[in-house]
């Protein structure tokens, strides 16, 4: 198994930062994205814009193939505000209805299957327990348990990396600054997408509706980041 990496790259701030993190550490890095009928599918178009930026950086020679996987079945069985035209709110179980049950478990399983075929050891994902909105499949315990299951089930020694697990959004912007300076920060600001509603209205922190939980979280992190820098 090679020492290359596969990054789960959605087109958002977190996964873009993780992609830069992987490029700074591994000699060959591929990306994987998922089309599951998400309401904010504009993120799939934005992915190419960020990868185009990376092609202009010193990491260009490390950036390998991109893989887009269709997972229509996940969207079909998910009654959530990310896959249906419904208002974002808390459900009766105490989780936000932006939670797509099993999403990260399925994504990482498909990523491991691809990594198996591509002979890649390292799998990188932007899940975060600090700013995770209560999603149980973003927790550190979940990822550690899944790594064990994937390695047992595929007879491999994959390593699941979660560079943002204990970072809030301010710290995520700071990591981008450390990795690639102002150029990377500005590329993430302008060439990634976080808005749950799929809107691209310009704001200082990027594009989005400005009011959904993802936009609010990103805006707070940006404001804290630029406030401290000032």
Could you report the per-residue pLDDT of 171-182, keeping only the tens digit for each? Answer: 999 999 999 999
For 93-128, what is each residue's pLDDT tens digit?
Answer: 555 545 566 788 889 999 999 999 999 999 999 999
Is residue 217 assigned to a domain?
A: no
Is residue 209 assigned to a domain?
A: no
CATH number at residue 132: 3.40.50.620
Distance of CA 228 to the CA centre of its chain: 25
Look-up of token digits 């995770």: 132
Cβ neighbour number for residue 106 with a 10 Å cutoff: 18
Confidence (pLDDT) at 91: 56
Domain count of the chain? 1
Mean of the pLDDT values across residues 184-213?
94
Angle subtended by helix axes 140-154 and 103-118, to nearest 10 = 40
Domain, as residue range, for 53: 2-193
Is residue 151 assigned to a domain?
A: yes
Confidence (pLDDT) at 229: 56
Is residue 227 assigned to a domain?
A: no
Is residue 206 assigned to a domain?
A: no
Is residue 176 assigned to a domain?
A: yes
Is residue 212 assigned to a domain?
A: no
Measured CA to CA in angstroms, residue 158 lies from 12, 21, 57, 152 at distances of 24, 18, 28, 10
Confidence (pLDDT) at 84: 44
Confidence tier at 135 by pLDDT (50, 70, 90): confident
Is residue 139 assigned to a domain?
A: yes
Confidence tier at 81 by pLDDT (50, 70, 90): very low
Confidence tier at 89 by pLDDT (50, 70, 90): very low
């Amino acid at each position: 198994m090679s020492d290359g990496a596969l990054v789960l790259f959605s087109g958002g701030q977190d996964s873009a930062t993780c992609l830069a993190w992987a490029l700074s550490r591994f000699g060959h890095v591929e990306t994987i994205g998922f089309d599951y009928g998400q309401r904010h599918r504009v993120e799939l178009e934005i992915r190419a814009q960020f990868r185009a930026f990376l092609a202009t950086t010193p990491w260009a020679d490390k950036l390998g193939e991109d893989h887009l996987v269709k997972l229509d079945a996940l969207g079909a069985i998910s009654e959530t505000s990310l896959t249906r035209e419904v208002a974002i709110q808390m459900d009766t179980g105490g989780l936000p209805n932006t939670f797509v049950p099993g999403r990260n478990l399925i994504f990482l399983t498909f990523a491991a299957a691809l990594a198996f075929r591509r002979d890649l050891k390292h799998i990188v994902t932007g899940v975060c327990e600090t700013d995770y909105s209560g999603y149980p499949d973003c927790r550190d315990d979940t990822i550690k348990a899944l790594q064990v299951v994937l390695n047992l089930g595929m007879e491999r020694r994959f390593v699941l990396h979660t560079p943002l697990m204990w970072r809030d959004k301010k710290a995520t912007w700071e990591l981008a600054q450390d990795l690639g300076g102002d150029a990377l920060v500005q590329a993430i600001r302008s060439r990634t997408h976080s808005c749950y509603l799929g809107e691209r209205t310009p704001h200082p922190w990027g594009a989005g509706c400005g009011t959904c939980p993802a936009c609010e979280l990103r805006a707070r992190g940006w404001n804290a980041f630029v406030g401290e820098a000032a």
